[in-house]
Structure 1
Amino acid sequence: MTGIPTGWRRYVGVGIGRSSWLLVACQTFYFMGISIDLTLTGVVGLALAPTPALATLPLATITIAGTVCSFIAGFLTASIGYVRVMITGAIAAMVGAALSVIAVSTHDFPLLCCGTALVGAYRSTGGYIRYMAADRAPSGQRERVLSFVLYGGLLAAFIGPFVATTSSAFFGAQYAGSYFMVGVYAMLNIPLLLAIRASGVRAKTDGEKPVPVPLAEVRGTRQFITGLLALAGSGAMMTMIMAVGPLGSQHAGHSSSMGATIIQWHLVGMFAPAVFSGNIVARIGPARTSVIGAALFVVAAIAGLGGDGFVNFLIALTLNGVGWNFLYLAGTTLLVRCYPRGRGGRIQAVAEGIGSVTGVAASLSASTVFYFLGWQGTNVPVLIIALALLVVLFVAALRARGDEVRAEEQPAGEAEQPAERPMDVQES
């Protein structure tokens, strides 16, 4: 890699460390497996449910189990480490995938619900991949590593649907092969996680485990509140538009291929900006980056309000995805700055849990909002939320800039010491 120009090295992962590359692979397999369950379970549920009213129950078990386990996973990482928690989640996904294969083959609806619930538990561990990457990032590389790990989502967006389709009939019963691949992807993450554990930096703690930072120490700070708002708001707005987009496209008379195209570009919008968004955060800071993300959500909602043409859907969902990327990365960066390396288990648990709750609320309300307001009307509440978030984040960015100016004016010896302590890396 010595022949790569210096200006390009940031884009191809030079200097971010072996663990970060392994975590990109973990993120890829994670998203590929989860995307199969989220894509197929609604269709399979309709085919197996004793009544159409229960068709979405298996899909609901994914989100409900994922929400509950998000809190549990966060608190467990504080006591047993990221790797053990994520391996436990992967094993749960393997068992859940096996149950789903049996359920599809035997037309057993309750068993399908059990299988998808276990995959939901696995889903709850995925958000901690980025926190693990932040804790293991080389000094001064946190923002870059956080964005680089999102490359895994971009790879999964292109590879996942193809594998799900081609593997569908592996075991005779339709979709049994696809659920089997969910378990395969989860299994492939286990050796990667063990390799990360073997290559990790161990904390110098005199034999004692790092003590998690109590939530009470950070819950009133501007960084924590701003980061939490960015993550929760972006997750809710992204989920609602992603859920309504295909329905609105179909209702507007567009072809199924057009519906697939807008979702694909939505996913590209979510993950492709990772090529440069980490560098933007490093240059202008997470507070100002979050303002850009909120502004993109505003523009996306305005594009959706503009009509139900294919171009409106394409622009709205693509910019919605890009806005999510900026807010997700900025919010995560703000959160990881609230605690020393390896001591953020409790903070992460609250952030992931609240993010899951808002995502579930948006998902469950999306169909009702669409039924009463239609595609264009659905963009109204999203626009209101985006504008409110934009104002709050803009004020927070101004205050953060003011703090920076005051810190620069202080004598060097009186400046605040950074919270990050590189050696406080939790032993995984």
Structure 2
Amino acid sequence: MGGDWFRVGRSTWLLVVCQAFYFMGVSIDLTLTAIVGLSLAPTPALATLPLAAITVVGTLCSVAAGLLAARFGYIAVMVGGAVTAVAGAGLSVAAVSTHSFWLLCVGTGLVGAYRSTGGYIRYMAADRAPDGQRERALSFILYGGLVAAFAGPFVATLSSDLLGARYAGAYLMVGVYALANVPLLLALRAGKVRPDVEAEKPEPVPLARVRRSKDFVAALLALAGSGALMTMIMAVGPLGSQHAGHSESLGAAIIQWHLVGMFAPAVVSGAVLSRIGPWWTSAIGTALFLVGSLVGLAGEAFVNFLVGLALNGVGWNFLYLAGTAFLVRCYPPGRGGRIQAVAEGLTSLSSVAASVSASTVFLLLGWRGTNGPVLVVSALLLVVLAVMAASGRRAAPAAERPAEAVR
């Protein structure tokens, strides 16, 4: 990668910073909420409900966020999401201060509404990218998550006792990071980096036009699969670590390296995607999910959690990036609002299913047993994607030019 690789423009770098603040706030909830939920829940079966509230509300809001963004613009929707996160953080602080489990669920649910807007940052970058550089812009946005992977869990642990009550300070930081995104988003508006196609308000590509295309189906499989496989292991990881007798600091390290696995590969995965295309990139990601589940099945030592969750994170990076690349092939810049809304909604729905079932699956099967369903789903997804890729090789040249087909 030469110096030209990093010349992606002012708006992309601003969006990278937005992504960093977004994931730093979200990573605090991911690091602590399962453990806090376990300490406040009236029964262990409800321990992951506050974490599930993030994905449930996020699912309900994700489709609406896409449709609202198509009408009012991404920036207005994301600023509204940031304000909602500030309110959710405040309620979460009050919840841990008063030991209220249900108030924590409300607070994390509001953060879930904010989370639903974060997925559109990468679409903003793709829409603003020069011709032929949309996939590179997508990989750059994930650099923001790399910063969050290192800083988020560290800040969560460091600020936990900041306000007296355990974990109150950490939840306060969720609101601080969300608020920090507002001036950056307003700078995007002030800098007039919105593409001309947004100013002209072009008609979004109808879903009926792409719903049977191989790129769209592959995008939905990759994005929904990556969300479900990652969420299941991420939600169970801290619980399994605690159940195995590992310390809280080791539990935070497990999530930290899971997040590193999710975003550190962005340094190379974008180049890999550009070189070998989304089909092979999705195969790499799915295979890494499979290997990570095998490591988890092998035992409950700290190294099993560390390596298993790290590989799970790397698998998510490759599969998520490939899925997004498939999706942006389905529409020209500025016309993907409806398609994006459906993809984000389905991805969130798969994450909800994984998150809601995580604690029950863990109670029934334990840490090692939870990796079994992940192994099976990863293997099936790998086979399905391989069959789709093999059957579509002769049509690949036409599939490379969907933008012209929908103009």
TM-score scaled to structure 2, two decimals?
A: 0.91
* Equivalent position amino acid for 2:125 in 1: A
The one of 369, 376, 390 aligned to 2:361: 369
CA contact (8 A) 2:230 2:313 kept: yes
- Bigger mean CA deviation after superposition, 104-113 or 18-27: 104-113
C-alpha separation between the residues in 2 aligned to 1:16 and 1:321? 25
Q: After superposition, what is the alpha-carbon deviation per residue over 1:64-118, rounded to whole angstroms, capped at 9, x for unaligned? A: 2111001110111111111111111011112222333344445555544433222
Question: Residue 271 in 1 paired to residue 255 in 2?
Answer: no
Q: Which residue of 2 aligns with 1:317?
A: 309
Match of 1:353 among 335, 345, 353: 345
Query: 2: distance between equivalents of 1:369 and 1:55?
Result: 12
Q: Give 1:157's match in structure 2, choosing from 136, 149, 160.
A: 149
Question: Which moved further from structure 2: 102-111 or 57-66?
Answer: 102-111
1:335 correspondence with 2:327: yes
The correspondence for 2:182, drawn from 163, 185, 190, is 190
Q: 1:115-134 to 2 correspondence within 5 Å?
A: 115-134=107-126
Q: Please list, as runs of the form range in 1=range in 2, the aligned pairs for 1:299-318 lying within 5 A after superposition.
A: 299-318=291-310
Find the counterpart in structure 2 of residue 60 from structure 1.
52
Deviation, 1:212, is 1.0
Aligned position for 2:2: 8
Unaligned runs of 5+ in 2: none
Tell me which residue corresponds to 1:419: 402
Bigger mean CA deviation after superposition, 344-353 or 57-66: 57-66
SS in 2 for 1:402: coil
2:239 to 247, 257, 266: 247
Question: Residues 90-239 of structure 1: matches in 2 within 5 Å?
Answer: 90-106=82-98, 110-199=102-191, 200-203=193-196, 208-239=200-231
What's the offset of the Cα at 1:258? 3.9
**Alpha-carbon distance change, 67 to 47 in structure 1, aligned in 2, over 3 angstroms:** same
1 CA distance for matches of 2:92 and 2:58?
17
Supply the AA of the counterpart residue of 1:419. Answer: P
Kindly state the Cα deviation for residue 224 of structure 1 after the two structures are TM-superposed: 0.3
- Aligned CA distance change for structure 1 residues 116 and 190 (closer, same or farther; 3 Å): same
8 Å CA contact 1:104–1:176 kept in 2: the answer is yes
- Superposed, 1:405-416 pairs within 5 Å as 407=397
Which SS does the other structure have where 1:125 is aligned?
A: helix
Displacement of 1:50: 6.7
Structure 1 residue 18 corresponds to structure 2 residue 1: no
Deviation string, structure 1 residues 308-357 (Cα, Å, up to 9, x no partner) = 34433333222211111110000000001101111111111111111111
- Structure 1: 4+ residue segments shifted above 6 A: 50-53
Cα distance change of structure 1 residues 304 and 180 upon mapping to structure 2, 3 Å threshold: closer
Tell me how far apart the structure 2 counterparts of residues 226 and 342 of structure 1 sit (CA, whole Å): 21
State the identity %.
68
Give the equivalent residue in structure 2 for 1:286.
Answer: 278
Q: Secondary structure at the match of 2:195?
A: coil
Q: How far apart are the structure 2 equivalents of 1:38 and 1:416?
A: 37
TM-fit CA distance, 1:254: 4.2
Whether the 8 Å CA contact 1:17–1:138 is kept in 2: the answer is no
**5+ unaligned residues in a row in structure 1: which ranges?**
1-6, 408-414
Question: Does the 8 Å CA contact 1:85/1:125 hold for their aligned counterparts?
Answer: yes
What is the number of residues matched between the two proteins? 404
Which has the larger share of helix?
A: 2
Instruction: Kindly name which structure, 1 or 2, has the bigger radius of gyration based on alpha carbons.
Output: 1
Q: Kindly indicate whether the alpha-carbon contact (under 8 Å) linking 1:143 and 1:279 is maintained by their aligned counterparts in 2.
A: no
Which residue is equivalent to 2:63?
A: 71
Q: Do the aligned partners of 1:45 and 1:58 also contact (CA within 8 Å) in 2?
A: yes
Deviation at 1:127, TM superposition (A): 0.6
Tell me the equivalent position of 1:398.
Answer: 390
Distance 2:307 2:59 in 1: 30
Tell me by how many angstroms 1:43 deviates. 4.4
Q: Which amino acid aligns with 1:228?
A: L
Q: Aligned partner of 1:220: which letter?
A: R
Q: Is the 8 Å Cα contact of residues 153 and 256 (structure 2) preserved in structure 1?
A: no
Which amino acid in the other structure matches residue 313 of structure 2? Answer: G
1:291 Cα shift?
1.2
Would the alpha carbon gap of residues 291 and 85 (structure 1) be closer, same or farther in structure 2, given more than 3 Å must change? Answer: same
Tell me the CA shift for residue 123 of structure 1.
Answer: 0.9
Change (3 A) 1:257 1:46: closer
The equivalent residue for 1:89 is 81
User: CA distance change for structure 1 residues 107 and 303 in 2, over 3 Å: closer, same or farther?
Assistant: closer
Contact 2:18 2:144 in 1 (8 A): yes
Deviation at 1:53, TM superposition (A): 6.8
- Counterpart of 1:302 in structure 2: which amino acid? L
Q: Deviations over 1:161-210 (max 9, x none)?
A: 222333334434343332222221111101111112233143258x7411
Q: CA deviation at 1:374?
A: 2.7
Rounded Cα–Cα distance in structure 2 between residues aligned with 1:20 and 1:292: 26
- Shift of residue 247 of structure 1? 3.1
The one-letter code of the counterpart of 1:320 is N
1:222-254 Cα deviation digits (max 9, x unpaired): 000001100111111111122223333344444
